[in-house]
Structure 1
Amino acid sequence: MPTLVSAIKKIRAMDMGQKEQLADELFRQQPNMFGSFLVQKQMGVSLEKMEFLLEILFICFQCMKESGLIWPLITEDEQDKQLARYVATVKFGEDLSPTLQDHAMKQYIENHPEQYLLAFVTVETKDWLSRIVPEDTDRYVMLAAVNLVNCIAFVPMPPSTAKACTHS
């Protein structure tokens, strides 16, 4: 959790120039993660709503940097795999009673390798949704935000590397 808190503080204290430098670094190191942000415009998401996702992306990337680990490239295939996994999890929950839905969600969060990052993104997304005028395209932003967390949590790491973006 200290890594996440530090990342949030650093990103929110950055000026535009520092964020541009971070975007360049992000594009060089994790171009597919950056691409998941850029593609939002093609999906009809407004620039104002894309700003929310960009901050989430910056915080996720800063967490990765501050973890001290060498992260492998998160590929488009890995992003697709994690998105399909998450969508299947959500669809599974739709068929359950409300009590079982709550239990399944609790179990999903408790077993998630990046619980703090997932909780942060979930709360930020909920707050963002309460401040915006809803549109159909908001689902793309929400899915992309959760998918960033899942890609970080489940990306295959080299065997000798213990993964912990937010647990260091």
Structure 2
Amino acid sequence: MTRISLDAMARAMRAVEAMNLSQKEALTDELFLAQPHMLGSVLVLPKLGVSMEKTEFAIELLLLCFQAMKASGRAWPPITEDDQELQQRVYVTTVRLGEDLSPMQRDRLMQQYLRNHPEQNLLACIGARTADWLERIDPEDSDRYVMLAAANLVNCIAFIPTPASGEPSAGARIAK
């Protein structure tokens, strides 16, 4: 069940698109306090060979994810490095599983993944923005790190238990 509604996603998109640089800096400061590991997972991209221009795209996605979390009105616990590592392993395993399948089976697996994803609105938004970005850039091997970071952000948000979903949490509330 999605915790970030279509309406919350739309509000987050409008809010981030309307922000000037100083507002984005303020949101980044807020993000650092509430979700430092999410921020760190994007800020590390240049160390993996990702250009600053492409890292900026990943930061935009991160700001959008964070704003969507805020717009949901739910309490979100801090996403830890362990949470990120677990989701990364699950995602990479799923992708690798698809490599050994026929195109038809791969298509079915992808449809099942999309249909069963707990945050379909966030996944669709980040997926569409990433696909659009991929069409506009000169491809490099390091782009896979940007795509992996984007997928991991969505999956960490999707699979982290929140108090509003009836599951225990040690985190603090992200205010609207």
Distance 1:41 1:118 in 2: 24
Task: Tell me which moved more, 23-32 or 119-128.
Answer: 119-128
Letter in 2 for 1:105: M
Q: 2:103 aligns with which of 89, 98, 106?
A: 98
Q: 1:60 aligns with which of 61, 65, 77?
A: 65
Where structure 2 has 5 or more consecutive residues not aligned to the other structure, the ranges are: 1-5, 168-176
User: What SS class does the counterpart of residue 72 from structure 1 fall into?
Assistant: coil
1:165 maps to what in 2? none
User: What SS class does the counterpart of residue 60 from structure 2 fall into?
Assistant: helix
2:32 maps to what in 1? 27
TM score, norm. by length of structure 2: 0.89
Percent sequence identity over aligned pairs: 57
2:50 maps to what in 1? 45
Aligned length: 161
Distance 1:91 1:119 in 2: 21
Asked whether 1:142 is paired with 2:147, we answer yes
Q: 2:122 aligns with which of 102, 117, 123?
A: 117
Cα displacement string for residues 26-82 of structure 1 (whole angstroms, at most 9, x for unaligned residues): 000000000011000111111100111111100100011111111011000000000
Where structure 1 has 5 or more consecutive residues not aligned to the other structure, the ranges are: 162-168
TM score, norm. by length of structure 1: 0.93
User: What SS class does the counterpart of residue 156 from structure 1 fall into?
Assistant: coil
Distance 2:74 2:132 in 1: 30
Q: 1:154 aligns with which of 138, 152, 159?
A: 159
Check conservation: 2:46, 2:52, Cα contact below 8 A.
Answer: yes
